[in-house]
Amino acid sequence: RPYLESRLQEMMMDRTMSERNPVQALTTREFEVFTMLAIGKTVQEISALLHLSSKTVGAHHTSIMKKLELKNSAQLARLALIWGLVRL
Summarize pLDDT for 8-34 with one digit per residue, the tens: 555 555 544 445 667 788 999 999 999
| Pair 23, 83: CB distance under 8 Å | yes
Mean pLDDT of the chain: 84
Nearest partner of 44 among 33, 32, 35, 57, judged by Cα = 57
pTM of the model: 0.73
Per-residue pLDDT tens digits for 34-73: 999 999 999 999 999 999 999 999 999 999 999 999 999 9
Which domains, ranges and CATH numbers included, belong to the chain? 2-82 (3.40.50.2300)
